[in-house]
Amino acid sequence: VAAKRQREGPAARPRKRAKKAPSAPEPDAKPGPEEYSIPPPVSQGKWKNKERVLIFSSRGINFRARHLMQDLRTLMPHSKADTKMDRKDQLFVINEVCEMKNCNKCIFFEAKKKQDLYMWLSNIPQGPSAKFLVQNVHTLAELKMTGNCLRGSRPLLSFDPTFDKEPHYALLKELFIQIFSTPQYHPKSQPFVDHVFTFTITDERIWFRNYQIIEEDASLVEIGPRFVLNLIKIFQGSFGGPTLYENPHYQSPNMHRRLIRLSVAAKFREKQQVKEVQKLKKTESKVLMEEDPTEVVFETPAEEKPVEIQLVKPESKPIVKDKKKLRKIQRKKQKKLFRTEA
């Protein structure tokens, strides 16, 4: 028997049977009284637009910028996070970080002097990229924002009509659409639309607001976060390259603070000059002006009245407060005069 086994060779193992998927219930078949049917998923499409956004920052940002970054991560289910980047590293290193994280868009927060916050929006790796100064930041955690929306829901993007009039705003509009819009059928997103991202241009700045759509009357309630983007430059490449547009109305925060200091110093200097002028006036000797003969030209001489000399002392009048008593006294005087005449 052993020789036969050696001639025949090792016995072949039986193949494993593939597990069959549970057959879907027929549409006509109705569940019984004790059976429960599971409804199919709402979004049955395929995730084709695989946009991934890397949101991270440099070291040295304050608490408000950190909360803003966290709010954007919660509002954008297609975003990814990373550790803070060192200040000494160059910005083009971010392209390699995005490739490692398999991201084709990036939002990078750069902090300077622990008080100024800059935001980079970039398309990796070809570009373009835009640099903004972030101002007037308000986060989701503030009590003024009373609205609420479903986590992971897809937003509507609303743009100002000015975005279609000028070329640099049209480029920023396309960049905002690709970064902030949640891709359809994303695994982490919900198939609902219950909030709106608005981008408005006023005072040469882009104002970002987030509103919740209320189902009852289709009114809007602000959720947050809110911030203002002041455009600095638009570059052709990702985090660098030739400059496509430079904002002529932009004023750096250093220059703004310098002008405030100069205005305060100018006011103080003006007050000091006024005090010095007053001191000089007090110390100056008073100069006596000679009489001007032309001063009497327009004066008219008054009429001379004759001098009257009163020889008899005037009678003293009694001071009476009560009018009735004064009348009685006058009557008594009149009676005395009548008697003397008689």
Mean pLDDT of 101-122: 93
User: With 0-12 CB in 10 A as exposed, 13-18 as middle and 19+ as buried, what is 238?
Assistant: buried
- Confirm whether 21 is domain-assigned: no
Residue in this structure with the two tokens 């049209």, named with its chain if needed: 170
In a domain, 85, yes or no: yes
Please report which confidence band the pLDDT of residue 145 belongs to, taking 50, 70 and 90 as the band edges: confident
Structure pTM? 0.68
Residue 334: inside a domain: no
CATH assignment of the domain containing 67:
3.40.50.10480
Its sign, for the CA torsion 138, 139, 145, 148, is positive
Using alpha carbons, list the distances in angstroms from residue 159 to 17, 154, 207.
Answer: 57, 16, 10
Residue 7 φ/ψ, nearest 5 degrees: -65, -45
User: Per-residue pLDDT tens for 191-224?
Assistant: 888 899 999 999 999 999 999 998 777 788 888 8
291 in a domain, yes or no?
A: no
Number of residues written out for the chain: 342
- What are the pLDDT digits (tens) for 261-313? 999 999 999 999 999 999 988 888 777 777 888 887 888 877 777 878 778 88
d(CA 157, CA 153): 13
Residue 310 lies in a domain: no
* Among candidate residues 54, 23, 188, the one with its CA nearest the CA of residue 124: 54
State the pairing for strand pair 79-81/129-138: unpaired
User: Alpha-carbon torsion 175, 179, 181, 187, what sign?
Assistant: positive
- 274 belongs to a structural domain: no
Domain total in the chain: 1
234 located within any domain: yes
Dihedral of CA atoms 183, 188, 194, 197 in degrees, nearest 10, equals: -50
Q: Provide the domain limits for residue 241.
A: 53-255
The mean pLDDT value of the chain amounts to: 84
Q: Is 323 within the bounds of a domain?
A: no
Residue 304: the pLDDT is 79
